[in-house]
Amino acid sequence: MLHLWVNGVQNLLQARELLFLSLGMMLGLFFGAIPGLGGAAALALLTPLTYGLEPFTALALSGGIMGGVPMGGSISAILLNAPGSAPSAATCLDGHPLAQQGKAGMALGAAASANAVGGIIGTISVLAILPIAARLVLLFGPPELFLLAVLGLVIVSTASRGKTLRGLITGCLGLLIAFIGYDDVTGVQRFTAGSSYLWDGVHLVPALIGLFALAESINLFVKGGSIAADAKAVSITSVTSGLLETFRHWRTVLRGSLVGTVIGAIPGVGGTVASFLSYSLTVQASKDPESFGKGNIQGVIAPEAAINAKDGSSLIPTLAFGIPGGAEMAVFLGLLVLHGLQPGPLMLIEHQVEIYGLIWALTASCILASFIGLLLVRPLSRLTLIDAQVLVPAISVIALVGSWAIDRRIGNVIVTAVFGVLGYLMIRFDYPRLTMVVALVLGGGAERNFHQTMMMSDGDLSIYLKRRVCLFLLIALAGLLAAPAIRVFRSSQRWQR
C-alpha cells in the first residue's frame, strides 16, 4: 500500500502536474469567491477543456479546483456575508459578524487554518478507508447497485427539510431525461424525437455546464448590478490571532472534521449538510451557545473544518460506487468518464495510482489555497464588485464554447442552453438541482442494473429480500421515506399539547 502512496506523490510532483494543480487551485479560489458559482460550476466549465490532457494531469487540475473552492467561499462569506458556495453559508453566521466587529483577519485566519487541518484529517480518513472499500464493493452486484442508486436519490431528496417533494420531483425529471436514447438491454430508441444526436442520450457534461455555470450566469444577469454593493468590507487586519484560535479550539476542529468525513461518505448529501451539522453540534457542545451568531470564532472553525474533510471522504462513494457525494462530485464524475475512468470496483483495482494522486492533489491544493487565499484576499474580494454586464457575458461564452469543444457538435450547445434555462427556473422557484444531477448520473446505471437483476432472478422481485445487503438497503429506504411523515406527526402532537 505504501508504494502506491509514494507512486501517487511522485506522479504528482512532475512539472506539468504541479502547474495544472496550481492553476486549478487559483481557479478554485476565483470561483469559490464568487457567490453562486463554486466548485461545481468551475468543474463544469473546465471539464471539456481537459479533453486533450492526460488523465492524471486532468485529475491534478480537478483536485486543485476542489481544494481551492472552500477557501474562496469563506472569503466572500466572511467579508460580504455572501457565501461563494452553499457549504460556506454556515460560515456566514459568525464570520460576517466578526468582520463587522473589525475582526475580519481573525475570521479569515481561522477559516484558512481550519480548512487546512480539516483537509489533512479527511485525507487520513480516505487513506484508511479505501483499502476496506475495495473489498466491500465486491459484495455489491446488480441488485445492490440498483438499490444503492435509489438510496442515493432518496437521500438527496430528503436531506433538505421542507423540499422533499420538490427534490423527488426534480429527481424524477432527471430520471426521465436519463432514459432518453438507446436502451442497452432492449436495443430500443426512446424519446429521441427523430434526432440522431439523442441516440446516445443527453450528454452529461453539456447538461451540467448549463445546469450550473449558465444557470448561475442567467440568475446574476436578471438580478443586475454587481454581486456586492460596495468595497467597505475589504479592510483586513492581522490574521495571526485567527490561526492560533484554530489550534486553541482543537476539539472543535476534530469534531468538525469527523462530521465532515462521515457526512461526505454518504452518497448525495454534500457539504452543506456537513457544515451546518458541524455548526449545530458545536453550538450544542458549547458552554456559551448564546454567543453563536454574534461573532464566536468557533462558528467559523467548525463548518470550515467539516467542508474540507468532506471533500476527501466524498471520493469514497464517487470512486467506489459511482454515486456522487454532492453536486461537485457529480460534475467530477463527468470528468472521469470523459477520460475513460469508469467509477466502480474496477477503478479501485486498476487505477490506484491515479486515485492516490488525486487524493494528494486535493490535500496539497487545500493547504496551499489556505495560505495563498490569505495573501490574495483583498484582490479576490474585489471580484465581487465586477458588474454583471461584464461578468455574465464572459462566463456564458466560456460555457457555450467549452460545451461545443467536447466533440464539436452544435447539439452540445443546444443542450447547454436548454439546461441553463431549466437551471435558472429551478433557482428562481427554489427547486434543488442536486437531485436532478444525481438522477442524470445514476439513471442509466440504475436501469441497467435493474434489468440485469431481473435476468438473474427470472423476473422475481423477491431477490431483493433474499440478499442481506439488499435487505439492509430496503430498510434504510423505508426509514428515509417515512422520516418526513414522522417529523410532521411529532410536530402536530407538540402543537396540540
Q: What does each of the 497 residues of the chain score in pLDDT, given as a tens digit?
A: 555 656 666 666 777 778 888 888 888 888 877 755 667 778 877 777 777 778 778 888 888 888 888 888 788 777 766 666 667 777 877 887 777 676 777 788 888 888 888 888 877 877 777 777 656 655 667 888 788 778 767 766 665 556 667 877 888 888 888 888 877 767 777 888 778 888 778 887 788 778 876 887 788 788 776 544 554 544 455 566 777 888 888 888 888 888 888 777 766 556 666 777 777 778 777 777 777 777 788 888 888 888 888 777 777 777 777 777 666 777 787 787 777 777 766 676 667 777 777 777 878 887 888 888 777 666 655 554 667 677 778 778 877 876 776 677 888 889 889 998 998 998 888 887 767 877 887 787 788 888 888 888 888 888 888 888 889 889 988 887 777 677 666 766 665 55
pLDDT of residue 434: 67
Secondary structure of residue 7 in the 3-state scheme? helix
pLDDT of residue 228: 47
- State the Cα–Cα distance between residues 180 and 443, nearest whole angstrom: 10
Phi-psi region of 460 (alpha: psi -120 to 50; beta: other; left: phi over 0): beta
Q: Which amino acid is at 329?
A: M
Secondary structure of residue 51 in the 3-state scheme? coil
Secondary structure of residue 387 in the 3-state scheme? strand
Alpha helices in 137-210, H assignment, sequence order: 142-159, 164-178, 204-208
Domain-by-domain residue ranges, the chain? 2-496
Q: Count of H helices and E strands in the chain?
A: 24, 2
Which position has the grid cell 468543474?
43
Secondary structure of residue 226 in the 3-state scheme? strand
Half-sphere exposure of 274 (CA within 13 A, CB side): 37
Which position has the grid cell 464572459?
394
For the record, the C-alpha cell of 448 comes out as 441497467
pLDDT of residue 421: 92
